[in-house]
Amino acid sequence: MTPENRKAYWKANLRLALGCLVVWFVCSYLFGILLVEQLNAIRLGGFKLGFWFAQQGSIYTFVALIFFYAWRMNHIDQKYDVHEDD
């Protein structure tokens, strides 16, 4: 792998990780703590949405982000030819 490809691969990896962290921060901190009062005006399955994000939504988002990260990293690995052979 050339040094340019290594830098591009690492940059793509960091961009993906940063994007996932931003989504998780928004769902867990902003929706679950700072915007909880505004979101409580909306109901989801009989529960206030702010309460739902604080209790379960951030956890579900985190699990979904794990699968999304693995899926996207497989594509990035194949793009830069660093994938594992099956």
User: Would you give per-residue pLDDT tens digits along the chain (86 residues)?
Assistant: 788 889 999 999 999 999 999 999 998 888 888 888 898 898 878 888 888 888 888 889 999 999 999 999 999 999 998 877 75
Residue 58: its pLDDT value, please? Answer: 84
Structure token digits, residue 27: 């769902």
Predicted TM-score (pTM) above 0.85: no
Beta bridge partners of 44: 47
By three-state DSSP, how is residue 42 classified? coil
Domains in the chain: boundaries = 17-79
Structure token digits, residue 78: 């194949």
Residue 29: its pLDDT value, please? Answer: 86
